[in-house]
Amino acid sequence: MFPSPQQRQKQNVKSNVKPGFYTIELNKSVWVIPECYQKLTPVGTGAYGAVCSAECITTGDRVAIKKFTRPFQSPIHAKRTQRELRLLRLMRHENVIDLYDMFTPDSSAEALEDVYVLF
């Protein structure tokens, strides 16, 4: 069962999550995502992140969300993250999923730790 908006708000106050976002644990990893994305289901994990499917409650669309694993832990990781995002933004091919949006729950560039990509 999914937590009610009131329960999520209480959790968010405790964990310092910015407004409009909520936390959920998937596969032993904490995800902080916008409240409009619900019904998260793990899809897979890889060397650079994890992917889950979700439903946008405002549009009804099914989306895939990729959470990059520690994208800025080193200059090499930052470069790989930047390279992947640039390629996804530029590529248009029937066998490559389109990048729809990106977001971070972090409030400033100094606090930037997590990057999520929406497909």
Would you list which residues are annotated within the binding site for ATP? Answer: 67
Residue 114 contacts residue 67 (beta carbons within 8 Å): yes
* Binding-site annotation: residue ranges: 67
Q: What residues are paired with 96 via a beta bridge?
A: none
Q: Collapsing DSSP states into helix, strand and coil, what is residue 117?
A: strand
Determine the distance from the C-alpha atom of residue 30 to the mean position of all C-alpha atoms in its chain, rounded to a whole number.
10
Can you tell me the distance from the alpha carbon of 105 to that of 34, in angstroms, rounded to the nearest whole number? Answer: 8
Task: Identify whether the C-beta of residue 49 lies closer than 8 Å to the C-beta of residue 39.
Answer: no
